[in-house]
Structure 1
Amino acid sequence: MINVLGQVMLYVNNQDEAVQFWTEKLGFSVIAEEDIGGGMRWIEIAPTKVTETSIILHNKEFVAKMSPELHLGTPSLMFFSENLDQLYSELSNKKISVGDIVEMPQGRIFNFPDNENNYFAVMEKK
């Protein structure tokens, strides 16, 4: 039986810029990094709060060559925040183009792009 989502693989064009975006602008931490050479490098990041799920930043070009059958599109990720207004303000101040906060039946939500224009969403969860 599956009991937890361990990692989400995010394929990016520039891993160093992606790490910088997630750590400096969103406050994630680098948990692990592995470079076995030849373009095979991955970086594991996660929110600083203890979490069971992390994001692995993979080299999109390398993975496409190694496994051309894989879908390399961006997964639809929904993050949760206990203080949506504060996060919205912080991301805006860091020059991240945040979408409008929208009231949904399940709660308030907004979206934002990373440095490669992949969009993600944040929902308020208290």
Structure 2
Amino acid sequence: MITTLGQIMLYVEDQKAVAQFWIEKIGFVILAEEQVDNGFYWIEIAPTKEATTSIVLHNKAMIAKMQPELNLATPSLLFDSANLDETYRIFKEKGVTVGDLVTMPGRRVFNFSDNEGNYFAIQEK
């Protein structure tokens, strides 16, 4: 049986630049970074070192070459925030592209994008 979601694979053009975005603008930390002899390289990031789920940044071109049948589209990720207004303000101050704060039935949410134009959402929990 599945007990938790361990990692989310995110396929990007420039792993180091995307990692810097998540670290500097969103506040994530690097959990691991590894280079394998065949040139395969990945960076694992998460909101905190104690997080149970992490994002692993993979090179989109290399993955496409290794596994051409794989869907490399950006997954729809919905993050949680204890203080959505504060998170929204901080993201804007740091130059993150954000959408409008929207009130939906049962929650408030906004979208944001990384430096490669991949869109994600964050909700108040």
8 Å CA contact 1:11, 1:74 repeated in 2: yes
Moved more, 41-50 or 71-80: 41-50
4+ long deviations beyond 3 Å: none
| Contact kept? 2:108, 2:124, Cα under 8 Å | yes
Q: Match for residue 5 of structure 2?
A: 5
Cα deviation, residue 96, structure 1? 1.2
% same residue: 58
Aligned pair count?
A: 125
* Counterpart check, 1:22 vs 2:25: no
So what's the TM-score if we normalise by structure 1? 0.96
Residue correspondence of structure 1 range 59-78 to structure 2 within 5 A: 59-78=59-78
Partner residue of 1:79?
79
Residues 39 and 59, structure 1, Cα contact 8 Å, conserved in 2: no
Corresponding letter in the other structure for 2:68 = P
Cα contact 2:98–2:113 (8 A) shared by 1? yes
Q: Which residue of 1 aligns with 2:31?
A: 31
Residues in 1 aligned to 2:122 and 2:56: alpha-carbon distance in whole angstroms: 19
So what's the TM-score if we normalise by structure 2?
Answer: 0.97
CA shift for structure 1 position 49: 6.3
* Offset at residue 51 of structure 1 (A): 1.7
The equivalent residue for 1:58 is 58
Gaps of at least 5 residues in structure 2 are none
